[in-house]
Structure 1
Amino acid sequence: MYELDCSGIIPGCARVIRADSESEVFRRAVIQAERMGYNRVPTTMLDRFRHEMIDVDSEATKLAG
């Protein structure tokens, strides 16, 4: 499972997006940005979506090991 915390990326957003794939989290993040008033999502914001998305399962494995 993948996760993206939108706070700090999309101004005014407090949503945490979760999905089974990176592409689905990314798609939902773009939709959220559009709902928050972005007609065109800036490239810098798209880059932050990619950079700050985490693989929750991988993080749990790191913590357990």
Structure 2
Amino acid sequence: MQISIDIDKCCGAGQCVLAAPEVFDQRDEDGIVMLLDADPPAGQYENARQAAAVCPAAAIQVRQ
């Protein structure tokens, strides 16, 4: 699995962090998404997919 983010699309809602805190975080200064692990272990795949699905700005792309 490969994950990428488009920080220009991010609106700082934080749904990704709630869905996959081991994969995503937010910058303190503006809440924009930070990718902690672009190639997470298999145990995080479902959480990463869920984070992409709930992102209101569609800023997260997940590829198998």
TM-score, length basis structure 2: 0.30
- Which has the larger strand fraction? 2
TM-score, length basis structure 1: 0.29
Greater RCO, 1 or 2 (C-alpha within 8 Å, sep 6+): 2
Larger Rg: 1
